Structure 1
Amino acid sequence: MLDALRELGRAASFGLLALSASAGLTLAAEDPLPSWNDGETKAAIVDFVSAVTSEGGADYVPPDDRIATFDNDGTLWSEQPMYVQLAFALDRIKAMAPDHPQWKETEPYKSVLAGDMKGLAASGKKGLLEIVATTHAGMSSEEFAQIAADWIATAKHPVSGKLYTEMIYAPMLELINYLKANDFEVFIVSGGGIEFMRPWTEKTYGIPPENVVGSSIKTKYEIRDGKPVIFRLPEIDFIDDGPDKPVGIQKFIGKQPIAAFGNSDGDFQMLEWTTAGAGRRLGMIVHHDDAKREVAYDRKSHIGHLDKALDAAPEKGWHLISMKDDWSRIFPD
Structure 2
Amino acid sequence: MQLGRFATLSLAVLIGCGGAGARETMRDTKPAAAPRSASSALASWNDVPSRRAIVDFVERVTTEGSRDYVAPDARIAVFDNDGTLWAEQPMPFELAFAVDRVRELAPSHPEWRAREPFAGILRGDVAGAMERGGRRGIAELIAATHGEMTPEEFERVVREWMSTARHPRYDRRYSELVYQPMLELLDYLRAHEFRVYIVSGGDTDFMRAWAEDLYGVPPAHVIGSQAQLRLERRGGVPTLVRGGEIEFVDDGPGKPIAIERTIGARPIAAFGNSDGDHEMLSWVASGPGPRFVALVHHTDAEREFAYDRDARSGRLAAALDDAQRSGWTVIDMRDDWRVVYPPE
Same fold (TM over 0.5): yes
Q: Specify the alignment match of 2:28 in structure 1.
A: none
Alignment of 1:110-121 (within 5 A): 110-117=119-126, 118-121=128-131
Deviations 1:190-243 (A, max 9, x none): 000000000100000111111000001110111112222111112211000001
SS of aligned partner of 1:283: strand
TM-score by length of 1: 0.90
Does 2:40 match 1:31?
Answer: yes
Q: Specify the alignment match of 1:267 in structure 2.
A: 277
Structure with higher helix content: 1
Query: Residues 193 and 62 from structure 1, CA distance in 2 versus in 1: closer, same or farther, beyond 3 angstroms?
Result: same
Does 2:57 match 1:48?
Answer: yes
For the 8 Å contact 1:216–1:239, the answer to whether it is kept is: yes
Give, in whole Å, the separation in 2 of the partners of 1:123 and 1:193.
20
Q: Specify the alignment match of 2:101 in structure 1.
A: 92
Alignment of 1:111-190 (within 5 A): 111-117=120-126, 118-190=128-200
For the 8 Å contact 1:82–1:303, the answer to whether it is kept is: yes
Deviations 1:4-38 (A, max 9, x none): xxxxxxxxxxxxxxxxxxxxx99987431011100
Bigger Cα displacement from structure 2, 160-169 vs 120-129: 120-129
Structure 2: which amino acid aligns with 1:142?
E
Give, in whole Å, the separation in 2 of the partners of 1:111 and 1:51.
53
Q: Specify the alignment match of 1:195 in structure 2.
A: 205
Which protein has the larger Cα radius of gyration, Structure 1 or Structure 2?
Answer: 1
Deviations 1:99-136 (A, max 9, x none): 11111122221111111121332212221121011111
SS of aligned partner of 1:267: helix
Q: Specify the alignment match of 1:315 in structure 2.
A: 325
Segments of structure 1 that go 5 or more residues without pairing to the other structure are: 1-24
Deviation, structure 1 residue 75: 0.2
Does 2:92 match 1:83?
Answer: yes
Give, in whole Å, the separation in 1 of the partners of 2:213 and 2:200.
17
Q: Specify the alignment match of 2:75 in structure 1.
A: 66
Deviation, structure 1 residue 143: 0.8
User: Using CA pairs below 8 Å that are at least 6 residues apart, which structure has the higher relative contact order?
Assistant: 2
Structure 2: which amino acid aligns with 1:58?
R
Q: Specify the alignment match of 1:4 in structure 2.
A: none
Bigger Cα displacement from structure 2, 103-112 vs 67-76: 103-112
For the 8 Å contact 2:118–2:129, the answer to whether it is kept is: no
Number of residue pairs aligned between Structure 1 and Structure 2: 309
TM-score by length of 2: 0.87
Give, in whole Å, the separation in 1 of the partners of 2:36 and 2:89.
35
